[in-house]
Chain A
Amino acid sequence: MSVIVWIVEGTWPACVDAARARAAPGEEIALLYVRDDALAETAHGAFAGLLGRGRPERDPGTSLERLAAASGRDLLRAAADRLGRPCTCVERGGRVEREVVAAARDAGLLVCARDGDPARLGPRSLGPATRFVVDHAPCPVLLVWPGEAPRTPLPPPPPHPGHRP
Chain B
Amino acid sequence: MPCRGRKTHLSTTTVVTETVSVVLLLGVLAFAVVRPRGLPEATAAVPAAALAVAVGAVSAADAWQQTRTLLPVVVFLALILMLAQLCADEGLFEAAGAAVARWCGGSPRRLLTGVFAVAAAITAVLSLDATVVLLTPVVFATAARVGARARPQVYATAHLANSASLLLPVSNLTNLLAFAASGLSFTRFAALMALPWLAAVAVEYAVFRRFFRADLAVAPVPGPAAGRDPGVPVFTLVVVALTLGGFVVTSFAGLAPAWAALAGVLVLGGRALAQRRTGPRALVTAAAPLFCLFVLALGIVVKAVVDNGLDTGLGRLLPAGTSLPALLGVAAVAALLANVINNLPAVLALLPLVQPGGAGPVLAVLIGVNLGPNLTYVGSLATLLWRRVLHAHDTRAELGSFTRLGLVTVPATLLASTLALWGMLHLVGT
Contacting A9 at CB < 8 Å: which of B141, B147, B291? B147
Given contacts A10-B221, A117-B217, A146-B219, 11 further A-B contacts (CB under 8 A): A13-B221, A36-B151, A41-B397, A43-B154, A45-B377, A45-B387, A51-B343, A51-B345, A70-B225, A75-B223, A118-B218
Contact, CB under 8 Å: B133 / A60: yes
Per-residue interface assignment for chain B, residues 204 to 217, with 1 indicating a CB less than 8 Å from any chain A CB and 0 otherwise = 00000000011101
Contact indicator B377/A8 (Cβ below 8 Å): no
Interface contact B140-A68, CB-CB below 8 Å: yes
In this assembly, does A53 line the interface, its C-beta being within 8 Å of a C-beta of chain B? Answer: yes
Which residue of B is nearest A12, CB measured?
A: B221
In the assembled complex, the Cα of A10 lies from the Cα of B216 at a distance in Å of: 10
Are B136 and A9 touching (Cβ within 8 A)?
Answer: no
Q: Is the interface of B mostly helix, strand, loop or mixed?
A: helix
Contact A38 B402 (CB under 8 A): yes
B221 touching A64 by the CB < 8 A rule?
A: no
User: Within 8 Å of chain B (Cβ to Cβ): is A21?
Assistant: no
Which parts of A33-72 form the interface with B (CB within 8 Å)? 36-43, 45-56, 58, 60, 63-64, 67-68, 70-71
- Which 8 A-B pairs have CB atoms at the shortest separation, nearest pair first? A49-B379, A127-B214, A10-B218, A41-B397, A63-B137, A45-B377, A45-B378, A71-B144
Size category of the A interface is 35 or more
Asked whether any CB of chain B lies closer than 8 Å to the CB of A95, the reply is yes
Smallest CB–CB gap between B300 and chain A, Å?
Answer: 14
**What is the minimal beta-carbon distance from B47 to any residue of chain A, in angstroms?**
15
State whether the Cβ of A74 lies closer than 8 Å to any Cβ in chain B: yes
Task: Report the bound CA distance from A40 to B132 in whole Å.
Answer: 12
Contact of A49 among B144, B215, B225, B373 (CB under 8 A): B373
* Smallest beta-carbon distance A66→chain B, Å: 9
CA distance in complex: A129, B213 (Å): 13
Distance A9 CA – B167 CA, assembled complex (angstroms): 35
Roughly how many angstroms separate A45 CA and B158 CA in the complex, as a whole number?
Answer: 9
- Of the candidates A54, A56, A75, A93, the one having the most CB atoms from chain B within 10 angstroms of its own CB is A54
A42 and B155 CA atoms in complex are apart in Å by 7
Q: Decide yes or no whether B399 CB sits under 8 A from chain A.
A: yes
B219 and A118 within 8 A (CB): yes
Chain B residue contacts of A12, Cβ below 8 A? 221
A78 to B378, Cβ gap below 8 A? no
Is B33 positioned at the interface, with any CB of A under 8 Å from its CB?
yes
Query: Is A140 an interface residue, CB under 8 A from the partner?
Result: no
Query: How far is B402's CA from A67's CA once the two chains are assembled, in angstroms?
Result: 21
Given contacts A41-B397, A52-B344, contact A10 B149 (CB under 8 A): yes
Interface residues of B in 229-268 (CB under 8 A from A): none
Q: How far is the CB of B216 from chain A (nearest CB, A)?
A: 10
- Interface size bracket, B side: 35 or more
Interchain CA distance A37-B344 in the complex, whole Å = 28
* B residues less than 8 Å from A74 (CB atoms): 144, 223-225
CB distance B154 to A42 under 8 Å?
Answer: yes
Task: Provide the A19-34 mask, 1 if CB < 8 A to any CB of B, else 0.
Answer: 0000000000000000
Find out whether the CB atom of B217 lies under 8 angstroms from the CB atom of A39.
no
* Cα A67 to Cα B399 with chains together (Å): 20
- A10 vs B137: C-alpha distance when bound (angstroms): 20
Interface string of B338-374 (1 = CB under 8 A from A): 0000111100000000000000000000000000010
Query: Quick one: which of B38, B129, B221, B379 contacts A56, CB cutoff 8 A?
Result: B38
Q: Which of A45, A48, A49 has the most CB of B within 10 A?
A: A49
Interface membership of A90, Cβ < 8 A: no
Could you give 24 example pairs across A and B, Cβ below 8 Å?
A41-B377, A41-B399, A43-B154, A43-B158, A45-B378, A46-B157, A47-B133, A49-B342, A51-B343, A51-B379, A54-B40, A64-B136, A70-B225, A71-B223, A78-B223, A78-B224, A93-B396, A94-B396, A117-B213, A117-B217, A118-B217, A118-B218, A146-B219, A147-B219
Chain A residues near B144: list those with CB within 8 A: 9, 67, 71, 74
In the assembly, what is the distance between CA of A124 and CA of B383, in Å? Answer: 36
CB neighbours of A126 from chain B (8 A)? 214
Name the CB-closest residue of A to B342. A51
Inter-subunit contact A95/B383 (CB<8 Å): no
- CB-based contact B140/A64 at 8 Å: yes
B41 contacts A39, C-beta separation under 8 Å = no
How far does the Cβ of B318 sit from chain A's closest Cβ, in whole Å?
A: 23
Give the Cβ gap from B88 to chain A, nearest Cβ, in Å: 11
**CB contact list, A106-127 vs B, under 8 A:** 115-118, 124, 126-127
Name the residue of chain A whose CB is nearest to the CB of B35: A54
* B92 part of interface (Cβ distance < 8 Å): no
Instruction: Determine if A128 is an interface residue (Cβ-Cβ < 8 Å).
Output: yes
A10 to B149, CA, bound (A): 7
Contact of B137 among A13, A36, A64 (CB under 8 A): A64
Partner of A37, one of B136, B224, B373, B396: B396
